[in-house]
Amino acid sequence: SLRGSCHRVRRTTHQWSDEETRYFLLLMQGTDDEPGFFQRIKKKLTRVKAMEEIAGKMEAAGYVVSGAVVDNKWKTLLSSFRSVEDHNNKSGNDRIREGPYHKELADIVGERASTKPKSV
């Protein structure tokens, strides 16, 4: 029995709408007024703190997500992006159709070595 337990459970899964995902990617990329994810990291914020800040911005816009949910979404989108890029860059492979957020992800990660897939 959990007798009177009032612990708040931090969900790490979330059903993302297209609108919510696009807003998240806008925050990750940054705007003239707001630094994006990589700019936040350059300012010596930890990944966790940067994701919490982005989650806070999303919450202020009416989207209820935690830093962990945002971080999981980023990992999922980035993994999918890398898989498509890696497959498409290998000689002899048919091109995989790019996902709905591929262009936005390409704009965010750019030519960063840590996010650029290894082609063989």
Q: Tens digit of pLDDT per residue, the chain (120 long)?
A: 444 444 444 556 789 999 999 999 999 888 888 778 888 777 777 888 889 999 999 999 999 999 999 999 999 999 999 888 888 888 777 877 787 899 999 988 875 545 454 554
Residue 114, pLDDT score: 52
pLDDT value of position 11? 56
pLDDT attached to residue 83 = 87
Kindly state the DSSP code that residue 34 receives in the 8-state scheme.
S
Tokens of 100: 């709905």
What pLDDT was estimated at residue 12? 60
Exposure string for 60-97, b = 16+ CB within 10 A, e = fewer: eeebebbbbbbbbbbeebbeebbebbbeeeeeeeeeee
The answer to whether 58 touches 25, Cβ cutoff 8 Å, is: no
In the numeric block, which tokens belong to residue 112? 């960063």
Q: What local confidence, expressed as pLDDT, does residue 37 receive?
A: 83
Output the CA torsion sign for 32, 20, 101, 87: positive
pLDDT at residue 65 in the model: 94
Query: Tokens for 75?
Result: 């990992």
- The whole-model pTM stands at 0.74
